[in-house]
Structures are given as structure tokens and as C-alpha cells.
Amino acid sequence: MLAPVLAQTFHPEPDFYVGWLTLALINAGIAQSKNRSGLLWWLLSLFLGPIATFILVTFCDRLPPAPI
């Protein structure tokens, strides 16, 4: 009974990867606009995807500029 369900595996199309990487780049840009590390948020977005976007937009306020 479960054999057909278990036999189906997740095989994403190439468009899935393009969208996921695009979202990661957008998140890096949002992070940089809030004076946060774009590289760190890009890496987090690779693993968390839309969850990282939600965290970044909802819970991360803009930081003051770093003193020079």
C-alpha cells in the first residue's frame, strides 16, 4: 500500500534551483540594505529559502551604520 508513495521521490526541475538561487540573492540584497551581512544571509537562504526571507523581513530591523 505504501510502496507507490515511497517509490515517488522528489526530483525538482531546473527551474526550482533557479528560483531558489534567485531568492537567495534577493535576501542578500535585503540584508545589505539593512546593514547586515549579505554573504551570511545568502548562505542561510540557500538552506532556509522562504523561511529566511520571512525572518529577515519580519524580525531584522535596520542596523545603524558602522562607524568608520
pLDDT of residue 37: 93
φ, ψ of residue 7 in degrees (nearest 5): -70, -25
What is this structure's pTM?
0.77
Enumerate residues 6+ apart whose C-beta is below 8 A from 46.
Answer: 20, 21, 24
CA gap 44, 24 in Å, rounded: 8
CA gap 66, 45 in Å, rounded: 24
Per-residue pLDDT of the chain (68 residues; tens, 9 = 90+): 555 655 567 777 888 889 999 999 999 999 999 999 999 999 999 999 999 999 999 998 888 887 87
CA gap 52, 20 in Å, rounded: 11
